[in-house]
Amino acid sequence: MDKAQLELVRGTLDVLILKALAWGRLHGYAITNLILRQSDDALLVEEGTLYPALWRLENKGLVESEWGLSENNRKAKFYWLTSEGRKHLRQETKTWEAYAAAVGKVLSATRPPQVEEA
């Protein structure tokens, strides 16, 4: 994987995490599971990238965390969106959709663009 792809992946990862938390308070493991399930097992968020991304989001004030108990009574750290995080998610979603549409248009083009007459 070269650097450009990594950037892209991480940028996407942030939105994915925010989107996952939009459903409610989750711990890190649940976030991975949720993304995996909602992408029909297409997107596996590796733990090595998930946690640093989560912590960065927390430092930016987009998510907050608190210790709590998991489903089977283990001590776990739960995350949720702040209002700022929610705003950020909306914005990033729009940006992503525009980007995806643009990339889609280019990739699905069947003819070269028409040259403008001078």
Partner 1 sequence: MNRTPFWRRYARLWKPDVRADVDDELRFHLAAKVDQLIAQGMDPEGARREAERQFGELAMVQEVGERLGRDRERSKQRKDYWGGLMQDLRYALRTLSRDRAFTIITVVILALGIAANTAVFSVVNTVLLRPLPFPDSQRLVWMESGRSLNATLRDAAGLSGLTYTVAAYEEFQRHNRSFQQVTGFNPFYGNGEFTLTGRGEPQAVLGVMVAENFFQTLGVQPMLGRLFTHEECQKNGRGAAVLSYAFWQRQYAGDPNIVGQAILLSKKPVVVVGVLPASFDFGSVFAPGMRMDLFVPAVMDELRYWGNTLAIVGRLKPGATVSQAQAESDILFPQFKAAHPDWFEDYASTLTGLKEFVTGKLRRSLIVLWCAVGVILLIVGVNLSNLLLARAAARGKEFAMRMALGAGRGRLIRQLLTESLVLSSGGAILGLGLAYAITMYMAHQGSIALPLLSSVRVDGAALGWTILIAVATAVLFGFVPALRASTGNLQDALKDAGPGMSAGRKHERMRAALVISEVALACVLLVGAGLLLRSFLKVLDVDLGFQPSHAAVIKIDYDDGNDKNSRIRRAQILREMLRNVEAIPGVEAAGETDMLPLGRNRSWGFQAKGHTYPKEVATVALVRIVTPGYLNAMGMHLLEGRDFNWQDVEGRENVVIINQAAARRFFPGEDPVGRLALVNGDTRVIGLLSDVREHSLEFSASPEMYLPAAQTDPEGAELVIRTKLPPEALASAVMKTLRSLNPSQPAAEFRPLQQIVDHSVSPRRFFVMLVASFALLGLILASLGIYGVISYSVTRQTQEIGIRMALGATAFQVQRGVIARALRLALAGVTLGTIGSFVTARWIASLLFGTRPTDPATFGGIVVLLCAVALLAGYLPARRASRIDPMNALRTN
For the chain, give the DSSP string.
--HHHHHHHHHHHHHHHHHHHTTS-EEHHHHHHHHHHHTTT-----HHHHHHHHHHHHHTTSEEEEEEE-TTS-EEEEEEE-HHHHHHHHHHHHHHHHHHHHHHHHHT--SPPPPPP-
* 36 near partner 1, rule: CB under 8 A: no
CB of residue 109 vs partner 1: minimum separation in angstroms?
39
5 binds partner 1 (CB under 8 A): no
Contact letters for partner 1, residues 66-85 (x by CB under 8 A): xxxxxxxxxxxxx-------
**Contact call for residue 19 and partner 1 (CB under 8 A):** no
Per CB under 8 A, residues contacting partner 1 are 25, 27-29, 46-48, 51-52, 55-56, 58-59, 66-78
